[in-house]
Amino acid sequence: MKNKKAVSPIVATVLLVMIVIILAIIILVWMQGFIKESLTKEIADKEKIVEQYCAEVGISPFINDDNTFGFRNTGNVPVYSIELKLTDGGSSDIIKIGPNPEDGGMVNPGFSTIIKDVNDIEGDGDNLFDYTLHEKIEIIPVLLGKTKKGGTRQFTCPEINAVVV
């Protein structure tokens, strides 16, 4: 037999360790896309994860004589914006009602708001949203929380916290 040279055991071990480290780094970077950053909110000197405040949101819907509707914030948590889940037939659409430029978008505890036409982007209030056009309407609260880096981000509460109009 001929004398064949192979990779030394030390070089092979170093290569295997480097491949394992590179694969671990790739997997960690890939997994960061699946992990949500935790948002916190501070109310009355109590800081909690935003999702825990969703259970404390109190929304009481009301219907006006002109078939418009709105809600009163009866809880202790300010609502930043809302999502409307409109159900018709067997399908549903979720429409986000963004913040109102005049009041910063918040519906503070004790205050109420009327849901304006979702197509009324400028917020002038000329067109009002008629609730009778849909079989079922759910109001889902959206809260504003702080990130660990000091920024703010919206958090949509789970649908279990929604209120049916």
What is the separation of C-alpha 132 from the centre of its chain, rounded to a whole number of angstroms?
27
Residue 85 within any structural domain of the chain: yes
Phi, psi angle pair for 19, to nearest 5°:
-65, -40
Residue 10 included in any domain: no
The residue ranking higher by pLDDT, 161 or 126, is 161
Question: pLDDT tens digits for 67-104?
Answer: 778 888 888 888 888 888 888 888 888 888 877 545 55
15 domain residue, yes or no: no
> Is residue 32 a part of any domain in this protein?
no
What CATH code is carried by the domain that includes residue 136? 2.60.40
Q: How confident is the model at residue 21 (pLDDT cuts 50, 70, 90)?
A: very high
In a domain, 13, yes or no: no
**Is residue 107 included in any domain, yes or no?**
yes
Structural domain tally of the chain?
A: 1
Q: What is the pLDDT of residues 97-123, one digit of tens each?
A: 877 545 556 688 888 888 765 544 334
Confidence check: pLDDT of 34 > 50: yes
In this prediction, residue 44 has a pLDDT band, given cuts at 50, 70 and 90, of: confident
Q: What is the pLDDT of residue 117?
A: 58
Please tell me the distance from the alpha carbon of residue 143 to that of residue 51, in angstroms, as a whole number: 9
Measured at the alpha carbon of residue 119, what is the angle toward residues 115 and 56, in degrees to the nearest 5?
35
CA distance 42 to 23: 39
Residue 56 belongs to a domain: yes
CA–CA gap between residue 127 and residue 62 (Å, rounded): 18
Main-chain phi, psi angles of 67, to 5 degrees: 65, 20
**What's residue 116's pLDDT?**
65
- Domain limits for position 82: 40-164
Residue 27 lies in a domain: no
CB within 8 Å of 59: residues ≥ 6 apart: 71, 72, 73, 74, 75, 79, 139, 141, 163
pLDDT over threshold 90, residue 163: no
7-16, 47-56, 110-119, 138-147: lowest mean pLDDT where? Answer: 110-119
